[in-house]
Amino acid sequence: MTTAPLRKDAARNWERIVAVARELVDEGTPLQLNDIARRVHMGVGTVYRHFPTAEALLETVATPSLEALTAHGEQALADEDPKRALTDFLTRTIEAQVTDASLSPVTAAPTDALPRTTELKQTLWSVGGQLLERAHDAEVVRTDLTSDDMVPLMCGIAFAASVHGSPAARVETARRYLTALLEGLYVR
């Protein structure tokens, strides 16, 4: 589904690489294609064929989360309460960022390795922008923050939660920070 339909064995290889990369991301190990090749018992060349750079692999690992976020965002657009819609969306975004270590670098990167990533990120920004705009229009949020600020702020909160916190407490911490920010964001 990435580009061209892969042969069955090639597809299996692709899956195994991504699966192992996912594990590495989860345990905080940096992705090194050599390392991964060893772990999946393939030649480096094979790994390079599937993923020309470590970034491409990382983005592939992040893709499901990005897709899920996008889907949620689109559902939120269907919510008739603009404030709730925005809050839900941002909460999910933050939770995902804090939970999935592949998201922060991919989200914050100024440039992407895969077109699919660019596409997803744009959709996400767009959805976020629309949600914010609706909230603006409904006069439930202040107007000095724009849709361009959504991504940085979410990254910032995720980052804040990762400073000095046990990984276990991160989700809770991030929620608190988001709450504080939202309190500031909402018109009262």
Contact between 183 and its own copies per CB under 8 A: yes
Q: Please tell me whether residue 7 binds its own copies under the rule CB under 8 A.
A: no
Closest CA to 77 of 132, 131, 138: 131
**Contact call for residue 92 and its own copies (CB under 8 A):** no
Q: Does 105 engage in binding with its own copies (CB under 8 A)?
A: no
| Percent of the chain that is helix, strand, coil (3-state, to 5) | 75, 0, 25
Contacts of 103 (CB under 8 A, 6+ apart): 62, 65, 66, 96, 97, 158
Tokens read off for 68: 């899920």
**Residue 175 sits in the site that holds its own copies (CB under 8 A):** no
- Smallest distance, Å, CB 145 to DNA? 37
Rounded Cα distance between 61 and 55, Å, is: 10
Site string for DNA, 106-125 (x = CB under 7 A): --------------------
- Interface residues for DNA in 43-72 (CB under 7 A)? 43-46, 48-50, 53-54
In the complex, the smallest distance separating the C-beta of residue 94 from its own copies, rounded to whole angstroms, is 11
Residue 8 binds which one of DNA, its own copies, none, with CB within 5 to 8 A depending on kind? DNA
Sign of CA dihedral 30, 153, 95, 108: negative
DSSP assignment of 86-130 equals: HHHHHHHHHHHHHH-TTHHHHHH-SS-SSHHHHHHHHHHHHHHHH
Residue 151 lies near its own copies (rule: CB under 8 A): yes
Instruction: Identify which of residues 109 and 138 has a Cβ nearer to its own copies in the complex.
Output: 109
Binding site for DNA (CB under 7 A): 6-10, 12-13, 30, 32-35, 37, 41-46, 48-50, 53-54
